[in-house]
Chain A
């Protein structure tokens, strides 16, 4: 490890973040990172009274979304299709009904309304969203990954081409000077790892149902076709060029096999019975 490596830690969107760079970040860069993360939270957190998605959840209407909405819409639509509607950004109300609500009540409300179907409820084209009734958007399956990418891009633009952005479960490594080694924690035994993945450039995102993956509550793996947490898969790890793709596909793999998913990724997946499958590129990462 280089003696000059610098670390920045902070809390963002309800999770601890850690940024590693060979050289310390200047105060204006730190401020820009914090502002970027806060702005994303003010838009997409359904846990804030003042967020855009909270406004959208209150009444039907038409909204102009920020630029990052385009990539979110594109990947959510592709994976909604690939999973036959199981992975949906419209699970927010259902998650809240299950207790993942703004007050962290953690209690089911008893409301059993199904997750609204995309086509019947919303028209989402890039940055333009129109709804016919109140819907609670939840981008928890891809949002944190996207924010990791945005922070990573900001670091590049600020003169830090080499870095690691870690948002607790979503990781982006860029031009790192040595292989960055990540253990894949066994979902049933946190003292053990079922594999080790090495990255010098790329993203790795993990998703597990045994614990919450996103401190802000935006990620709990819910099957939109049943309105219930999924049970067949207990953990996934996905590598991809971007954290957005790795994060979203990590959730999609709870509902569909990799051959149905239209993104180039590698994965490791553990099912509820403890069995593990891996794509060819990550077979060698497993510790059998």
Chain B
């Protein structure tokens, strides 16, 4: 079986990208401390940045605007932090774009079952498909971001 390398840092990365990009900040993204511009940031749980090296567990929310080809769109981003790792990222769009609207509508209407699945250890398989491996360079960069974000 292909060795699989897992990182919990990828969701953190998405969070950093999302917040920073939506905030339109030109400086490196500072998780949870971005108060630039017109962004309305609220938190439950307290920030632990500012040199302590720790982020408090909690849910962080931010509203942002971005320019799409169809004009200004707004989105809401919610990050969940647990043990200094972003464990969940929710991006809620408020589309004025008809395409976005249509697909969101389709997904909302879709009726499908939740599949519980089985433990992979109990299945006899040749390979696992889902989370691909990432390159060393990428992982190094994620580690660097993590250390800087917590500094």
B18 within 8 A of A: yes
> A66: which B residues are within 8 A, CB to CB?
none
A110→B20 contact, CB < 8 A:
yes
Inter-chain CA distance A195–B36, complex, in Å, is 45
A14 → chain B, closest Cβ, in Å?
4
Interface residues of B (CB under 8 A from A): 2-4, 6-7, 10-11, 13-14, 16-18, 20-21, 24-29, 66-70, 73, 75, 90-93, 95, 97, 99-100, 103-104, 106-107, 110-121, 123-135, 137-138, 140-142, 145
> B21: which A residues are within 8 A, CB to CB?
97-99, 108, 110, 112, 228
**Chain A CB within 10 Å, residue with most, of B92, B111, B138:** B138
* Across the A-B interface, the 4 shortest Cβ-Cβ residue pairs: A185-B130, A215-B135, A169-B132, A108-B20
B145→A106 contact, CB < 8 A:
yes
> B125: which A residues are within 8 A, CB to CB?
181-183, 193, 196
B66→A206 contact, CB < 8 A:
no
Inter-chain CA distance A66–B69, complex, in Å, is 31
B132→A271 contact, CB < 8 A:
no
A192 within 8 A of B: yes
> A216: which B residues are within 8 A, CB to CB?
135
A256 within 8 A of B: yes
Query: What is the number of residues of chain A that contact chain B, defined by CB distance less than 8 Å?
Result: 80
Partner of B100, one of A205, A223, A237: A223
A193→B117 contact, CB < 8 A:
yes
Inter-chain CA distance A168–B132, complex, in Å, is 5
Inter-chain CA distance A216–B135, complex, in Å, is 7
A206→B11 contact, CB < 8 A:
no
A287→B116 contact, CB < 8 A:
yes
Inter-chain CA distance A270–B116, complex, in Å, is 12
Inter-chain CA distance A88–B45, complex, in Å, is 39
> A248: which B residues are within 8 A, CB to CB?
none
Partner of A86, one of B18, B28, B99, B111: B99
Take A16-B2, A276-B114 as given contacts and tell me if A183 and B129 are in contact as well, using a CB distance cutoff of 8 Å: yes
Take A14-B137, A215-B134 as given contacts and tell me if A225 and B68 are in contact as well, using a CB distance cutoff of 8 Å: yes
B30 → chain A, closest Cβ, in Å?
10
B99 → chain A, closest Cβ, in Å?
5
Partner of B25, one of A108, A168, A208, A211: A108
A25 within 8 A of B: no
A50 → chain B, closest Cβ, in Å?
16
Inter-chain CA distance A117–B128, complex, in Å, is 36
Inter-chain CA distance A204–B93, complex, in Å, is 31
**Chain B CB within 10 Å, residue with most, of A110, A115, A286:** A110
B16→A99 contact, CB < 8 A:
yes
A215→B117 contact, CB < 8 A:
no
A16→B17 contact, CB < 8 A:
no
A64 within 8 A of B: no
B13→A271 contact, CB < 8 A:
no
**Chain B CB within 10 Å, residue with most, of A117, A168, A191, A276:** A168
Residue on B with the closest CB to A208?
B130
> B29: which A residues are within 8 A, CB to CB?
107-108
Inter-chain CA distance A110–B64, complex, in Å, is 12
16 contacts between A and B (CB under 8 A): A86-B103, A98-B17, A169-B129, A184-B130, A190-B131, A192-B120, A193-B119, A204-B129, A206-B130, A215-B132, A226-B100, A237-B129, A271-B110, A276-B114, A286-B115, A287-B115
Within 8 A of B (CB), among A193-213: 193-197, 204-206, 208, 210-213
